[in-house]
Structure 1
């Protein structure tokens, strides 16, 4: 079984990855808004989860939103 590398980050590393504070990451975990891994009593977050969070919360430009609206019609 091949496994592509997807590093596990600590909450502090995840906060640095997103450019936020550690409290924000801990709140995402506590509210279960992102997936995480428990390693013993430690919380670790995959970089792919953070990338998915970024994609899901990226706000489209007005032009992108308009073109998506027109395609739906």
Structure 2
């Protein structure tokens, strides 16, 4: 089961990239008219933000796929 995140706050997952693989999706429960963006930031320099749209939405749950995350990193020259 995931962690709850208060509105307008952040969640830091140390070494989060080791948890991302093609076998998983990130799911975010939300309320509102549209799904939230998943925003990733470089913890060392804060030099880039990667914004990822949900790949699918179902009954107030937004899903973010490995492929979308990998493509967003690639667009910023990050592997």
- TM-score normalised to structure 1 length: 0.39
Whose strand fraction is larger, Structure 1's or Structure 2's?
2
Whose helix fraction is larger, Structure 1's or Structure 2's?
1
Structure whose alpha-carbon radius of gyration is higher: 1
- TM-score normalised to structure 2 length: 0.36
